Structure 1
Amino acid sequence: MEEIWKHARALRNEATDAERHLWQHLRGRRIGCKFRRQYPIAGHIADFACIEAKLVIELDGGQHLERSAEDAARTRRMEANGYRVLRFWNDDVLVRAMDVLDEILRHLGSVR
């Protein structure tokens, strides 16, 4: 198995609270599209990806404040591969989950 897939599996097993919370809303086509979690795209591992809609959802914690240049490069690489990338702060997912889901649904609706 390729190393990136092993790393993705490890990340799935070590999900953050925000990732686990959002996954409960995305799994099993609960919002109408199939999402995968910790899915390799363009040499990076996306937190969540809907392949059919070419949509990536990234959740950022406090450590991302120092990694904004890396995150921007990662986003550009995924976009160059045809994906749209939505970024949300972990706190938004935990405190305002319905607002986050509304935003995701709005982006999914624009591709249907």
Structure 2
Amino acid sequence: MNTKLKHLVRKIRKNSTAAENILWKELRNKRQGSTFRKQHSFPSYVVAFYCYEKRIIVEIDDQIRTPRSLYNHAREKQLTREGFIILRFTNVEICRDLESVMKKIREKL
């Protein structure tokens, strides 16, 4: 991992949103039966949560990272071409209806 990306990952991890923290509590330590990594980096991208065994990426959209921006669209297109399943949720979905979010994640697992 290059130095610039490494610093970005550290910064993102330190400044997690409330929604990221809520979702991480549900995904960490194999609570869903599979291992997830938080703020995982690929050669050119950083994703919120990544399950290596199932090739599932979980992303969270908020006010700063606008949903379906051109960057997100290009990144999602590249990752799906490489065989990853991408699940995208908003902060509001996670904070208000965590059970539905977790149900969707469990269905993909």
- Please indicate, yes or no, whether the TM-score normalized by the shorter chain is above 0.5: yes
Supply the RMSD in Å over aligned alpha carbons. Answer: 1.4
1:101 is aligned to: 102
1:76 is aligned to: 77
2:17 is aligned to: 16
State the shift of 1:5 in Å.
Answer: 2.4
Moved over 4 A (4+): none
CA contact (8 A) 1:42 1:77 kept: no
Q: Which amino acid aligns with 2:60?
A: L
State the shift of 1:62 in Å.
Answer: 2.5
Secondary structure of 1:32's partner?
A: coil
Q: Which amino acid aligns with 1:107?
A: K
Figure out how many residues of one structure are paired with residues of the other and give that number: 107
5 Å matches for 1:1-112? 2-3=2-3, 4-63=5-64, 64-65=66-67, 68-108=69-109
Return the alpha-carbon distance in structure 1 between the equivalents of residues 8 and 97 of structure 2: 29
Return the alpha-carbon distance in structure 1 between the equivalents of residues 34 and 7 of structure 2: 25
CA contact (8 A) 1:39 1:48 kept: yes
1:20-76 CA distance string (max 9 Å, x none): 0100000100010000010012411000000110000000012314x5222111101
Aligned-residue identity in percent: 30
Return the alpha-carbon distance in structure 2 between the equivalents of residues 84 and 77 of structure 1: 11
Unaligned stretches of 5+ residues in structure 2: none
Secondary structure of 1:82's partner?
A: coil
Larger helix percent: 1
Return the alpha-carbon distance in structure 1 between the equivalents of residues 78 and 43 of structure 2: 7
